[in-house]
Amino acid sequence: MTQDLPDITTIAKALTVPAKVQLLDQLMDRRGHTLLELAHAAGIEPQTASYHLREFLTAGWVRREQQGRFHYFFLVNADVARLIEQFSPSAPQPPVKKLSQTRSTEQMRLFRSCYDHMAGRTGVAITDAFVAHHWIVPDQDKTYQVTPTGHQFFLKMLSIDSTVVAQKKRQFTTQCVDWSERRHHLGGALGSALLQTFEARDYVERGPQSKRVLVLTDAGRDFLREHLDMRVAE
């Protein structure tokens, strides 16, 4: 007797095709990208990118939005983003062939978005600072608990009401494994709210090449130095 089980082969097939993973990686900045932008970034023909994107649309991983004559694609499945990040630490790193690749890789390792929250060396350091100040506490179930002083910090210094964020449908906090640092950074709804606030206050900017790369502004460095006792090199 056959059982109706989830077709996990769809996920397996996606992760065994480098071009598909490249497309998903580009969409990990949670921004809209055109077909040509995605094809160029993945180094594949637009027809091939279109074929893969249709699969993602059918699987419910991606949505398409039309603006005038342009179609933009967005990653809408946080589980897919989390899966890529979780597998990345175990994956062999490709050989570097160009100096520009070295710079790009180092920028990604330093500070980047992991779907909708902050990751990389700086993202982990920010999480560590929250823990050191006892604003969040790692829990046994791979989440973080926000302490009363943490709630006051987020509300007073960042205008983030963690009690309201906790009421959202998605998971409030997660200990997300950082693929480059091999340590945890803050994910979930609170991590998302934090990145949104940093962007709204111009504490971070998106990189000129990859929009997943995050760049601290002078205002961002001042905030981290004054409130988290962090010194981030330029």
Three-state SS string over the chain comes to CCCCCCCCHHHHHHHCCHHHHHHHHHHHHCCCECHHHHHHHHCCCHHHHHHHHHHHHHHCCEEEEEECCEEEEEECCHHHHHHHHHHHHHCCCCCCCCHHHHHHHHHHHHCEEECCEEEHHHHHHHHHHHHHCCCEEECCCCCEEECHHHHHHHHHHHCCCHHHHCCCCCCCCEEEECCCCCCEEEEHHHHHHHHHHHHHCCCEEECCCCCCEEEECHHHHHHHHHHHCCCCCC
User: Is the pLDDT higher at 234 or at 93?
Assistant: 234
Average pLDDT of the residues in 226-230: 95
The predicted structure's pLDDT at residue 158: 97
Contact by Cβ (8 Å): 77, 61 = yes
Task: Find the range with the poorest average confidence among 55-69, 121-135, 215-229.
Answer: 55-69
Please count the CA atoms within 13 angstroms of the CA of 60 that sit on its side-chain side.
Answer: 3
Handedness of CA 137, 225, 171, 38 (dihedral sign): negative
Query: What tens digit of pLDDT does each residue of 164-193 get?
Result: 999 988 899 999 888 888 899 999 999 999
pTM for the full predicted model: 0.71
Query: What tens digit of pLDDT does each residue of 121-157 get?
Result: 999 999 999 999 999 999 988 999 999 999 999 999 9
As a whole number of angstroms, the distance between CA 175 and CA 143 comes to: 5
Q: Which of 68, 90, 88 shows the shortest CA–CA distance to 24?
A: 88
Task: Parse the chain into domains and list their residue ranges.
Answer: 9-76, 99-228
Top-level CATH class of 9-76? mainly alpha
Residue 5: pLDDT band (50, 70, 90) is low
